[in-house]
Protein backbone atom coordinates (compact mmCIF):
# COMPACT_ATOMS: atom_id res chain seq x y z
CA UNK A 1 0.00 0.00 0.00
CA UNK A 2 2.88 2.36 0.77
CA UNK A 3 4.30 1.85 -2.74
CA UNK A 4 0.96 2.78 -4.32
CA UNK A 5 0.75 6.03 -2.33
CA UNK A 6 4.36 6.83 -3.20
CA UNK A 7 3.71 6.27 -6.93
CA UNK A 8 0.60 8.51 -6.79
CA UNK A 9 2.52 11.20 -4.90
CA UNK A 10 5.38 11.09 -7.44
CA UNK A 11 2.91 11.27 -10.35
CA UNK A 12 1.15 14.31 -8.86
CA UNK A 13 4.50 15.98 -8.17
CA UNK A 14 5.66 15.32 -11.75
CA UNK A 15 2.46 16.78 -13.22
CA UNK A 16 2.72 19.89 -11.03
CA UNK A 17 6.40 20.37 -11.85
CA UNK A 18 5.68 19.96 -15.57
CA UNK A 19 2.90 22.54 -15.35
CA UNK A 20 5.18 25.03 -13.62
CA UNK A 21 7.87 24.53 -16.27
CA UNK A 22 5.40 24.97 -19.14
CA UNK A 23 3.86 28.06 -17.54
CA UNK A 24 7.27 29.66 -17.01
CA UNK A 25 8.30 28.93 -20.61
CA UNK A 26 5.11 30.55 -21.93
CA UNK A 27 5.79 33.59 -19.77
CA UNK A 28 9.37 33.78 -21.09
CA UNK A 29 8.15 33.64 -24.67
CA UNK A 30 6.22 36.86 -24.19
CA UNK A 31 8.74 38.61 -22.01
CA UNK A 32 11.76 38.44 -24.31
CA UNK A 33 12.71 40.57 -27.30
CA UNK A 34 11.16 38.24 -29.88
CA UNK A 35 7.58 39.17 -29.02
CA UNK A 36 5.90 40.46 -32.20
CA UNK A 37 5.10 43.86 -30.69
CA UNK A 38 8.76 44.39 -29.72
CA UNK A 39 9.93 43.26 -33.16
CA UNK A 40 7.61 45.75 -34.84
CA UNK A 41 8.86 48.50 -32.59
CA UNK A 42 12.48 47.51 -33.28
CA UNK A 43 11.80 47.47 -37.03
CA UNK A 44 10.33 50.97 -36.86
CA UNK A 45 13.39 52.21 -34.95
CA UNK A 46 15.75 50.57 -37.43
CA UNK A 47 13.88 52.06 -40.39
CA UNK A 48 13.88 55.50 -38.75
CA UNK A 49 17.65 55.17 -38.22
CA UNK A 50 18.15 54.38 -41.92
CA UNK A 51 15.98 57.26 -43.08
CA UNK A 52 17.84 59.61 -40.71
CA UNK A 53 21.10 58.61 -42.43
CA UNK A 54 19.69 58.50 -45.99
CA UNK A 55 22.02 61.23 -47.32
CA UNK A 56 25.11 59.53 -45.86
CA UNK A 57 24.01 56.21 -47.32
CA UNK A 58 23.38 57.78 -50.74
CA UNK A 59 26.82 59.41 -50.65
CA UNK A 60 28.36 56.03 -49.86
CA UNK A 61 26.57 54.37 -52.80
CA UNK A 62 27.59 57.23 -55.10
CA UNK A 63 31.20 56.66 -54.08
CA UNK A 64 30.94 53.11 -55.42
CA UNK A 65 30.75 54.31 -59.05
CA UNK A 66 31.39 57.66 -60.75
CA UNK A 67 28.35 56.99 -63.00
CA UNK A 68 25.89 57.22 -60.08
CA UNK A 69 23.98 60.49 -60.00
CA UNK A 70 21.02 59.45 -57.83
CA UNK A 71 20.22 56.65 -55.40
CA UNK A 72 16.81 55.12 -54.66
CA UNK A 73 16.46 52.92 -51.58
CA UNK A 74 13.84 50.19 -51.34
CA UNK A 75 12.75 50.69 -47.72
CA UNK A 76 10.57 47.55 -47.84
CA UNK A 77 13.67 45.45 -48.54
CA UNK A 78 15.13 46.11 -45.08
CA UNK A 79 16.06 42.80 -43.41
CA UNK A 80 17.84 41.78 -40.24
CA UNK A 81 19.64 38.46 -40.14
CA UNK A 82 22.26 36.59 -38.22
CA UNK A 83 25.69 36.46 -39.80
CA UNK A 84 27.41 33.09 -39.81
CA UNK A 85 31.13 32.78 -39.22
CA UNK A 86 31.49 29.05 -38.67
CA UNK A 87 31.11 29.14 -34.89
CA UNK A 88 28.05 27.95 -32.95
CA UNK A 89 27.35 31.50 -31.73
CA UNK A 90 27.52 33.11 -35.18
CA UNK A 91 29.11 36.37 -36.13
CA UNK A 92 26.46 38.78 -34.93
CA UNK A 93 23.63 40.49 -36.75
CA UNK A 94 23.43 42.55 -39.90
CA UNK A 95 20.77 44.94 -41.17
CA UNK A 96 20.63 45.07 -44.98
CA UNK A 97 18.92 47.39 -47.43
CA UNK A 98 18.61 47.15 -51.22
CA UNK A 99 18.25 49.86 -53.80
CA UNK A 100 18.70 51.09 -57.36
CA UNK A 101 20.66 53.91 -58.97
CA UNK A 102 19.89 56.64 -61.52
CA UNK A 103 16.17 55.79 -61.59
CA UNK A 104 17.09 52.62 -63.51
CA UNK A 105 14.99 49.56 -62.66
CA UNK A 106 17.68 47.39 -64.24
CA UNK A 107 20.19 48.21 -61.47
CA UNK A 108 20.59 46.90 -57.94
CA UNK A 109 22.90 47.04 -54.92
CA UNK A 110 22.80 46.14 -51.24
CA UNK A 111 24.32 47.88 -48.23
CA UNK A 112 24.56 46.65 -44.65
CA UNK A 113 24.97 47.78 -41.06
CA UNK A 114 26.36 45.78 -38.14
CA UNK A 115 24.00 45.27 -35.16
CA UNK A 116 24.54 44.01 -31.61
CA UNK A 117 21.30 42.00 -31.74
CA UNK A 118 18.29 41.55 -34.00
CA UNK A 119 16.34 44.37 -32.33
CA UNK A 120 19.05 47.02 -32.02
CA UNK A 121 20.10 49.93 -34.18
CA UNK A 122 23.76 50.47 -35.09
CA UNK A 123 25.80 52.01 -32.28
CA UNK A 124 27.69 54.15 -34.77
CA UNK A 125 27.24 54.83 -38.43
CA UNK A 126 29.23 52.24 -40.33
CA UNK A 127 28.04 51.08 -43.72
CA UNK A 128 29.21 48.02 -45.65
CA UNK A 129 28.95 47.21 -49.35
CA UNK A 130 27.13 43.88 -49.28
CA UNK A 131 26.59 43.65 -53.06
CA UNK A 132 28.18 46.04 -55.55
CA UNK A 133 26.07 48.02 -57.98
CA UNK A 134 25.02 45.78 -60.84
CA UNK A 135 23.07 46.29 -64.05
CA UNK A 136 20.99 43.81 -66.01
CA UNK A 137 22.12 43.58 -69.62
CA UNK A 138 22.65 40.87 -72.22
CA UNK A 139 20.70 38.39 -70.06
CA UNK A 140 22.87 38.70 -66.94
CA UNK A 141 23.89 40.95 -64.06
CA UNK A 142 27.12 42.83 -64.64
CA UNK A 143 29.09 45.29 -62.57
CA UNK A 144 27.89 48.86 -63.08
CA UNK A 145 30.97 50.53 -64.50
Query: pLDDT tens, 48-80?
Result: 999 999 999 999 999 999 999 999 999 999 999
In a domain, 51, yes or no: yes
121: domain range? 32-143
Tell me the Cα Rg of the chain. Answer: 25
pLDDT at 14: 62
pLDDT at 66: 95
Helices 36-52 and 54-62 pack at an angle, to 10 degrees, of: 60
In a domain, 87, yes or no: yes
In a domain, 15, yes or no: no
Contact (CB, 8 A) for 25 and 18:
no
In a domain, 11, yes or no: no
In a domain, 106, yes or no: yes
In a domain, 21, yes or no: no
The number of folded domains in the chain is 1
Q: 7 versus 100: which is more confidently predicted?
A: 100
Predicted structure pTM score: 0.70
In a domain, 101, yes or no: yes
pLDDT at 92: 86
Residue 16 pLDDT > 80? no
In a domain, 19, yes or no: no
Mean pLDDT, residues 2-10 taken together? 63
Closest-CA residue to 54 (of 118, 94, 97, 95): 97
Amino acid sequence: MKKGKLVILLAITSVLAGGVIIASQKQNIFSNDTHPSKQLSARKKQLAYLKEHEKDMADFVKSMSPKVDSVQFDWDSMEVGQVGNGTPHGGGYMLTLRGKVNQNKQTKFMVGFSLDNANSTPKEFGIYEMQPIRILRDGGWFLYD
